[in-house]
Every structure is written in structure tokens, then in C-alpha cells.
């Protein structure tokens, strides 16, 4: 695999993974001096469950985009016009999916963390 291929596409999965890790509470938190169940803690726990679905959809969209990008690059060196155009269409749909699922994840996080 060409390393130039990974320079841009890997950033999305890395960001999505960090968001998912944060949303699922994977990052270490400081211990409170006096732990108490507050409304904010309950709301945050609820947001973690809700936004996990959007985060997984975003990660899957990036996976599909990387596959589509690789298929497009494979079609270029000797593919027919039809093969190249079909690969470009799949890449375009995968990019739209990344945008849509990314917006849904941001909307979810903004709605619960505001």
C-alpha cells in the first residue's frame, strides 16, 4: 500500500476513534473529592449511550470511504472509462456518507454536551 494514500484518509478514523473513546468514557478522569450523582453526570452517561451509535456509523463511513478510495486508485492505471466512472461514483457516495454521519455525530454531541 502506498503511504501517500494514508496521509489524508487515516485522519478521519483516528478522530472518530478518539471521539468514540471519549464518548464511551475510555479516557481517564480525575477522581472527585466527594463523588455525588448529579444531573450533569446522568445526562453525560445518557449522551454516551446515544452518541455511540452515531460514532460507530461515522467510523464505518470512513472505512467505506477508504475502501472506495483504494478502488478508485486501482481503477485509474488501466481501467476503462466505465470502471473509472463507477469507482468515482462509489467514492463520491462514500464521501457524502462521511459528511452526513459526521454531521449527525456532531449534532448528537452538541445536543447533549451543550
What pLDDT does residue 16 have? 55
Query: Residue 78 in 3-state DSSP?
Result: coil
Residue 13, pLDDT > 60, answer: no
What is the C-alpha radius of gyration for the chain, rounded to an integer number of angstroms? 19
Look up residue 114 and give its three cell numbers.
451543550
Q: What is the pTM of this model?
A: 0.57
- Torsion angle of C-alpha atoms 69, 71, 72, 76, degrees rounded to 10: 140
Report pLDDT digits (tens) over 22-66.
444 444 444 444 445 555 555 555 545 778 999 999 999 999 999
Report pLDDT digits (tens) over 77-95.
888 999 999 999 999 999 9
What pLDDT does residue 86 have? 96
Amino acid at each position: 500500500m502506498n503511504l501517500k494514500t494514508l496521509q489524508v484518509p487515516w485522519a478521519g478514523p483516528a478522530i472518530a476513534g478518539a471521539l468514540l473513546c471519549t464518548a464511551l468514557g475510555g479516557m481517564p478522569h480525575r477522581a472527585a473529592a466527594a463523588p455525588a450523582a448529579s444531573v450533569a453526570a446522568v445526562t453525560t452517561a445518557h449522551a454516551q449511550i446515544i452518541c455511540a451509535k452515531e460514532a460507530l456509523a461515522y467510523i464505518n463511513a470512513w472505512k467505506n470511504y477508504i475502501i472506495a478510495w483504494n478502488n478508485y486508485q486501482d481503477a485509474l492505471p488501466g481501467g476503462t472509462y466505465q470502471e473509472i466512472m463507477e469507482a468515482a461514483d462509489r467514492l463520491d457516495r462514500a464521501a457524502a456518507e462521511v459528511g452526513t454521519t459526521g454531521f449527525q455525530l456532531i449534532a448528537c454531541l452538541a445536543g447533549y454536551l451543550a
